[in-house]
Amino acid sequence: MAKLNRKYLKPFKNIFILIVVVFAVWMIFFDANSYLIHRELNTEIDELETEKEYYNKEIEKDKKAIKELSSELGVEKLAREKYYMKKANEEIFIIEYEDSIPKENKND
Report, in this order, helix, strand and coil percent for the chain, each rounded to 5.
Answer: 70, 0, 30
> What pLDDT was estimated at residue 60?
97
The reported pTM is 0.52
Average pLDDT over residues 33-44: 88
Distance CA 79, CA 82 (A): 6
Distance CA 55, CA 49 (A): 10
Does position 106 have pLDDT exceeding 70, yes or no?
Answer: no
Could you read off the pLDDT of 1-27 as tens digits, one per residue? 556 667 777 766 778 888 888 888 888
Could you read off the pLDDT of 87-105 as tens digits, one per residue? 888 887 777 787 777 777 6
Burial (0-12, 13-18, 19+ Cβ within 10 Å), 34: middle
